[in-house]
Structure 1
Amino acid sequence: MEALKILTSDEAISAVHALNDDTRRRILNALKAKKMSTTELVEFLSKDDPENSIKPQTVRYHLKKLQESNLVKLDGYAHAGNGNSHILKKVWRAVAEHIFIAATTIEDFPEREAYEVAKARNIIRPLEEIGFKIPENEDAVAEIAELFVEWDTLWRKCRDEAAKDLKNIGTLDPNVYVSLRRILSILHLTDSEYERYWEVSRHVTDRLRKAYRNGKGKNPEVY
């Protein structure tokens, strides 16, 4: 998967139309995280939103629209079932980890949406699958999620000021632009906000590091 893909002109217009649908946005985000088959996407979407059932043909329709807009691509085929079946299933992935729809200027490139507590929970819980020992107490998970959201919110506060600074620099590679905007956003915080940013950062990473060490993950100290 490419790290970055910039869509311009007709591609950009097509992508905007394709992403004007919540299910397609969820599919794209899922395929940025890992390759999936249609069946896996159906299971993911059903688990993510249990109240709204989704059918395989619906997912196939959305995949077709995303593929036509150059947002996802067919990555190959895998054996269905436990791998012993002769039936092959299509495996899909996003074209890039970061997809920018080019606007008139680089600072107008779309950002991911700010995290909400519910979304932050969805980031924390899957860590159990790679060995993290996440607290079973939902209050403890909620506390980590709330800190995660505060962490994300703080750096976003001064994003506009950072963008103004970057207007004074010549043409930048989009990856460099995004990195510099993040750094400058943090530097523009007030002294109290800056201290709080690093305090929250430490709280979040310390708790996740503890969950990593208490679980089945590899101990960071041996590397």
Structure 2
Amino acid sequence: MKTLLKPAFAAALAITAIASPAVTAPVMAQSNQKVAVVNVPAVVVNSSAYQTAQTQRQTTYAAQMQQAETRRTALQGQLQPLITAFNAARQQPNADQAALQQQASQIQQMQQAGQAELQQILAPVALSQAYVEEQIQDQLNTAVENAARAQGVSLVISPDVVLFAEATHNLNEAVLQQLNTLIPSAQLVPPQGWLPREMREQQEAAAAATTAPAPAASGSGR
């Protein structure tokens, strides 16, 4: 069966290219390379480690989720009368634009403050999500390489660069099986003080910048 592949959804997961760098379609067509397509984000979210963590998180972080939902409902109850009053006021003939602007600003500030509060409540949940995803990402390259070698594939590309491909070029299932073997489950709760890789790299870069020796000042003689 022939399959028209849709672009992969946006995600912060690297697509792995095996062997040579990206090549143009004409070169690929003329070579004897076996090419396969992998939708990495789809493989990740269907992995055993990811799915198990999603289920466990509902229990482990039930208190934070319930607190966030309760607070969200309360915030909505505070905002709704203000929104209703604002909508009614702006429909009046000769509405006071200055007053409307003040009302709109108040509503916006409350919404922003509420969103920040909810993010703070759910911060442990978001950190758990990032921790699980990073553990899976650490095994992705190996999973893709193992699946490619097992099936004699010399080049792996992502669906967002493919307009058409036979279903036989789909390597998703093989990569998923490899990933489930490499990481059947992931730790759900990050250790104390753990930060996502991007934040760790930023901190390391900042530390390196502060400890780097300052360039020697060049003086001018008279």
Which band: TM-score by shorter chain? Answer: under 0.3
Larger Rg: 2
TM-score, with length taken from structure 2: 0.26
TM-score, with length taken from structure 1: 0.26
More strand per residue = 1
